[in-house]
Amino acid sequence: MNSRVAENFDAGIGRTRNRWGEGERLRGEILAAAGRLLAELGGEDGLTIRGVARAVGIAPASIYQHFSDRAELVRGLLDHEYARLRESMREAEESLGETDVVGRVLAQIHAYCTFAMENPGHYRLMLANGASRPTPGAQAEGPLLDVIDHLAAAFERCVEAGHPLRVTPGRAAAVVFVGAHGRVALFHSVLNRTGADLVEPFVDELVSLVFA
C-alpha cells in the first residue's frame, strides 16, 4: 500500500459514510474487522486501533467514538465473539426436536468444537478472558461460565427425560467442557491442526461416559 493510499485509509476516504443513526452498524463493522484481524494474527498482541481502522476504511478517531481505547475494543470483541458462539450453539440445539434431549446436548457441543477449531485466535482470547472474580473470594462470573451453565441446563433436561447421569448436571457440563477444551488445545498448540471432525468423536465418547 503506497503512502497516499494509506493516508486515505487513515482519513476514512473511499468509504461510504454511515447515515445518521447508523452508528451501531459501524460498531458492528469495527468488531467484524477486529475479528478478521484476530484470525489473521492468531492472537490479540498485534491488534491495534490503527490496524482495525484501516481494515474498516475509517479514521482511527471514528473507532474512539465507540471504544475509548484498545482494552475496551478487546472487551467489545469478546462480547461479540461469545454472542456468535452462543448463537451457533443455540441454532445447533434447535435444529433437533425437543424430545431428542441427548442429541441436543451433542449438537451444542459439536457447535462449540466447530467454533473453537475454526477460530483458534478468537478461542484463545475468549478462554483467557471468559471468567473472573469481581472481588477476592467472590464467585467467578463471565460469558464462559454462561456457556457451561447452558450445557448444564441441557444435561438437566436429559435427566428429566429419563436419561440419568453418573454425576450432577453441573459436573457433567464441566467435565465435558474441560475435556473438549483439552482436546481442542491439543490440536491447536501441539499438532497445529484444525477441523471439528478431529474432536467430535472424542467428545461423543466423553458425553456417553457421563450418562449412567
pTM: 0.79
Task: Please calculate the CA angle 156-195-114 and round it to the nearest 5 degrees.
Answer: 35
pLDDT band at 194 (very low <50, low <70, confident <90, very high): low
The whole-number pLDDT of residue 180 equals 93
Residue ranges of the chain that CATH labels 1.10.357 = 78-210
- List pLDDT tens digits, range 165-180: 999 999 999 999 999 9
SS3 32: helix
The class (CATH top level) of 78-210 is mainly alpha
Residue type, 156: E
Fold category of 3-67 in CATH: Arc Repressor Mutant, subunit A (1.10.10)
What residues have CB less than 8 Å from 207, skipping those under 6 apart? Answer: 102, 105, 106, 109, 176
**What is the tens place of the pLDDT at every residue in 105-122?**
999 999 999 998 888 888
| Residue the block writes with cell 462449540 | 112
